[in-house]
Amino acid sequence: MTGDLTYPGGGVRLHVEGPLRKEMRITPSPEQAHYLLHVMRAKAGDMLSLFNGRDGEWRAEIADVTKRSCTLVCRAQSGPQQAVPDLWLVFAPIKKTPTDYLVQKATELGASLLQPVFTRRTIVTRVNRDRMRANAIEAAEQSGRTDVPEIREPLPLEKLLAQWPADRKLLFCDEAGDALPIAKAFAQKRPSPLAEGGEAQRATGEGDCSWAILTGPEGGFDPAERAVIRARDGAIPVTLGKRILRADTAALAALAIFQSLRGDWD
Ligand code: SAH
């Protein structure tokens, strides 16, 4: 019997690199073919979903099944290309397993871009971007995203700050300070630079600006780094509560709070 390929969590969705168009025939990667044929025991005629980050969601039929390979034939578009909120996660890389976890969960929580940053207390010296992308793809497949977050080349903190876009605000997760929680920081009124006598007020981040979240390594930011970040225009120090969170927990908590306040969790 043929039908929809499903697993306990839902229908099978795969990310492919090439374009998706009606009747296009796609050769899955060897790993995807193995997954479809041997893990999911797919048969010719079974249906699954495909996305590539550009062309929306497509229904595709499995054809030309041999022992090791098959073809995926694009039948019809089943959903539009969707965008997540424009939210970057800038994080100091941690050890391999927690970084895998962080990339997967940040993708599920809807980060649009992941930027590893080397700080003074970052212990990890190299980042495997291919591995990060593979984790992001897996999480996008599983969570129903039609895009995959961009994974940027890691940068040292000074360099990152030197080239920081002027129109992007930075929620600086600062465990050591007197910072406000994110909700209060968003609600805080600041005197408008245009207003006379500071009478007119504007909410922090009002308008069309975009956002990033910055979290540190297991050892935290050093005092000089904290001072430099805090002194920047557009950087808003925030607390994630009284408890010190592990680096991966902090990044994910901040993403969840942002998405519920300013993101697409409404
Ligand atoms: N320096 C700390 C641990 C750092 S936790 C220590 O050793 O005691 C790793 C990162 O998570 C921090 O740099 C910060 O960005 C974030 N973080 C953890 N807990 C936080 C909190 N309660 N508020 C804001 N940021 C936090």
Q: Using a 6 Å cutoff on CB, does residue 186 contact ligand 1?
A: no
Question: Is pLDDT at 192 greater than 80 in this prediction?
Answer: no
Which pLDDT value is given to residue 203? 45
Give the residue-averaged pLDDT of 148-161.
98
Reported as a pLDDT band with limits 50, 70 and 90, residue 218 is: very high
The model's pTM is 0.91
Angle (CA) 214 110 239, round 5°: 35
Is residue 206 located within the same domain as residue 251? yes
CB under 8 A, 24+ apart: contacts of 193-196: none
Is residue 100 located within the same domain as residue 161? yes
Q: In this structure, is residue 1 part of a structural domain? A: no
Which pLDDT value is given to residue 11? 86
Q: In this structure, is residue 156 part of a structural domain? A: yes
Is residue 74 located within the same domain as residue 193? no
- Average confidence score pLDDT of the chain: 92
Which pLDDT value is given to residue 148? 98
Instruction: Measure 254 CA to ligand 1 centroid, in angstroms.
Output: 11
Q: Which of 43, 78, 113 is the last residue of a domain?
A: 78
The structural domain count of the chain equals 2
Residue whose CA is closest, atom 26 of ligand 1?
Answer: 175
Q: Using a 6 Å cutoff on CB, does residue 237 contact ligand 1?
A: no
Give the residue-averaged pLDDT of 162-171.
96
Q: Using a 6 Å cutoff on CB, does residue 245 contact ligand 1?
A: yes
Q: Using a 6 Å cutoff on CB, does residue 239 contact ligand 1?
A: yes
Question: Is pLDDT at 195 greater than 50 in this prediction?
Answer: no
Is residue 129 located within the same domain as residue 159? yes
Question: Is pLDDT at 180 greater than 50 in this prediction?
Answer: yes
Q: For the chain, give the percent of residues with pLDDT over 90.
A: 86
Is residue 33 located within the same domain as residue 112? no
Question: Is pLDDT at 157 greater than 90 in this prediction?
Answer: yes
Which pLDDT value is given to residue 207? 54
Is residue 197 located within the same domain as residue 74? no
Q: Which of 78, 95, 126 is the last residue of a domain?
A: 78
Instruction: Measure 203 CA to ligand 1 centroid, in angstroms.
Output: 26
Do residues 177 and 236 make contact, with C-beta atoms less than 8 angstroms apart?
A: no
Is residue 121 located within the same domain as residue 236? yes
Which pLDDT value is given to residue 15? 98
Q: Using a 6 Å cutoff on CB, does residue 255 contact ligand 1?
A: no
CB-CB neighbours of 110 under 10 Å? 22
Cα 191 from Cα 175, distance rounded (Å): 26
